[in-house]
Amino acid sequence: MNNDPVVAVAAAGLLVLAGIYWCPEFPLTTGNEPISPGEEALNENHRERPWYRQAAEVIPRHVYLKFVGTTTFISIFFVAYFYLLKDPAYPVTVMPRIWLDHLIGFQPLSLPFYLSLWFYVSLPPALLATRRELVDYAMSIAGTCLAGLIIFYFWPTAVPVAHIDWALYPDVDFLKHMDASGNACPSLHVATAVFSGIWLHYLLRRFGAPLWIILCNWIWCAGILYSTLALRQHVAVDVLAGLVLGVLAAYLSLRKPRSRDVFY
């Protein structure tokens, strides 16, 4: 198998991360460095401000870095994902169905939840305040996806054939043509959704968001997970493996001690 595309994608990803880290136009801040007057004001007043105002103040910070970084990361991920999807190194293993797969019926109306992942995963970095935190987050989510891609390389998998006439569901049929049944286990759709959900929970609590907002976050995350089964993109074993990967990666990424000025 020609590994040139894999090497190119890996090199591009490393160059992007290195550029963000060392480029003098994007100096990083740490918890030991003096903070700006704007950050100091946020530190002093954040408890008195409504949670949505705190979020609104953070979102515009480093907006170009957030936009370019998120877009570049998703683009590189898709190149690697589709390359492994079309050219696996080893024979493909078909994942088994279990009782949960038979319990959840095909639901084409869950497609919006499935597609919303790409907006959902952009929310945690949008709510981060400093370049240092953005780089740390990027490294964590990149490591999560890299772990899944390595598994796909050494153990390619696919979901069982669903006996459904996809022509009756044009929107889902388009998805099936774009994203075939391979690269099934672990589900990176699930892993990245859970990773993002845990980080959003953490950030929303930091802002002091009300319970109903936190519950909405988890309902959205659960809807994405459900859609992977309801659209027959994954089976329950894939979802469980993705859930484990996402929880483990989020736990490891949030273990790092953080000072308040990293966020405010």
pTM, full prediction: 0.79
* Residue 74: per-residue pLDDT: 86
By the 8 A CB rule, do 100 and 23 touch? no
Would you give per-residue pLDDT tens digits along the chain (264 residues)? Answer: 444 444 444 444 444 444 444 443 333 333 344 444 444 444 555 556 888 899 889 988 888 888 888 888 888 888 888 888 777 778 889 999 999 999 999 999 999 999 999 999 999 999 998 888 998 999 999 999 999 999 999 999 999 988 888 888 898 888 887 777 778 899 999 999 999 999 999 999 999 999 999 999 999 999 999 999 999 999 999 999 999 999 999 999 998 655 444 444
Helices and strands (H and E) in the chain: how many:
14, 2
- Residue at token pair 């589900």: 187
pLDDT value, residue 82:
82
Summarize the chain as % helix, strand, coil (round to 5): 70, 0, 30
| pLDDT in the model for residue 17 | 45
Predicted local distance difference test score (pLDDT) of residue 46: 53
Which ranges of the chain does DSSP label H, i.e. alpha helix?
4-22, 37-45, 51-58, 63-86, 99-103, 111-115, 117-120, 123-126, 131-154, 170-178, 188-207, 211-230, 236-254, 260-263
Q: Which two tokens stand for residue 143?
A: 């490591």
Measure the CA–CA gap between 123 and 213, rounded to whole angstroms: 14
DSSP 8-state secondary structure symbol assigned to residue 158: E
What pLDDT does residue 161 have? 86
The pLDDT value recorded for residue 45 is 52
Is the peptide bond prior to 210 cis by the omega test (within 30 degrees of 0)? no
Res 217: pLDDT: 97
